[in-house]
Amino acid sequence: MIVLGENRYGKSRVRVMKLDRDGEKHTVHEWNVEVWLKGDFAACFEDGDNSRILPTDTMKNTVYFLARSSSAGTPEQFATELVTYLLAENPQVDEAGASIATNPWTHLTTAGTEHATAFVQMGGATDTTTVMGRRGTAVKVASGFRNLAILKTAKSGFAGYIRDRLTTLKETHDRLLGTLASGEWKYTGEVADYATARARIFDAVLQTFALHDSLSVQQTLYAMGKAALEAEASISEIYLSMPNKHCNLVDLAPFGLDNPNRIFVPTDEPHGSIEATVRRAG
């Protein structure tokens, strides 16, 4: 017997730019929204019966409709509004979810003064939010980031590891540590100010990366996660992924030159993959 397994459907890459006009100073939100629904949709998959299906085009329009009247200042707030609305308006749906990715726009500074209506988008890192709601239960909010390029040129080494006949890696107590980091943390309940919570977590993660005397990427990852939990009481756990962006020392001896940790070849293929979840006990 063949049966339908777990399924969902929705709309992806719904692009929204929302402009908040607060007097002469403006704020820009650019969101890339994904929405999905879960429920008893077996008749659609198996028989082509669409009577319980909300079109994905309607889901796209719902994003724009809510954005027009929303006072949400953070992706977390808007995603919560979106999930709550979809559940309220669609009794055939058991669960709704929304993910938002954003590359923040910040005000340009000219002559030492923040410009009210001009903006710049810096770096390749993306802020992320995922909100899930099941009928009759409170929504669950998770936030994070991805593709955050960070590098430290001191306080990093790697030694004391297993060596066998296939090991060619040399031990070092002075290396470059680079990664394209991603992370996601889970909130325990509704948060009054998601932007402030994100800023505290992000600051704790980056400060720890910079100051930690690293004996391995694993040790530094754990220290970063621990610092985030200590900095923000509203989160229960944080997942971090820190793939190596290797910086290999170039052998300049054939050219009659030494290389006291000055010239490197950056490479990320192949790379080590280090990831873990750090959570509160109990």
pTM of the model: 0.91
107 classed as catalytic: no
Q: Which of 56, 52, 43 is nearest to 9 (CA)?
A: 56
- List where CATH 3.10.270.10 sits in the chain: 9-134, 146-279
User: Which fold is adopted by the domain 9-134?
Assistant: Urate Oxidase (3.10.270)
CA 151 to chain centre: 18
11 is catalytic: yes
Structure tokens at 32: 């890339």
Please identify which of the residues 11, 29, 60, 186 carries the catalytic annotation.
11
Class of domain 146-279: alpha beta
Of 66, 130, 58, the residue nearest 93 (C-alpha): 58
Query: Buried b / exposed e across 178-209, counting CB within 10 Å, b at 16+?
Result: bbbbbbbbbbeeebeebeebbebbbebbeebb
Q: Give residue-wise pLDDT tens across range 191-214.
A: 989 999 999 999 999 999 999 999
User: Given pLDDT bands bounded at 50, 70 and 90, which one contains residue 123?
Assistant: confident
Residue 134 — pLDDT band, cuts 50, 70, 90?
very high
The answer to whether residues 262 and 191 touch, using CB atoms and an 8 Å cutoff, is no
How large is the greatest C-alpha to C-alpha distance in the chain, in angstroms?
77
Q: What angle do CA 69, 84, 41 make, to 5 degrees?
A: 125
Which one of the listed residues 26, 38, 56, 140 is annotated catalytic? 56
Query: Model confidence over 199-255: pLDDT tens digits?
Result: 999 999 999 999 999 999 999 999 999 999 999 999 999 999 999 888 888 999 999
- Reported as a pLDDT band with limits 50, 70 and 90, residue 111 is confident
Catalytic residue, from 29, 186, 245, 246: name it: 246
- 56 a catalytic residue: yes
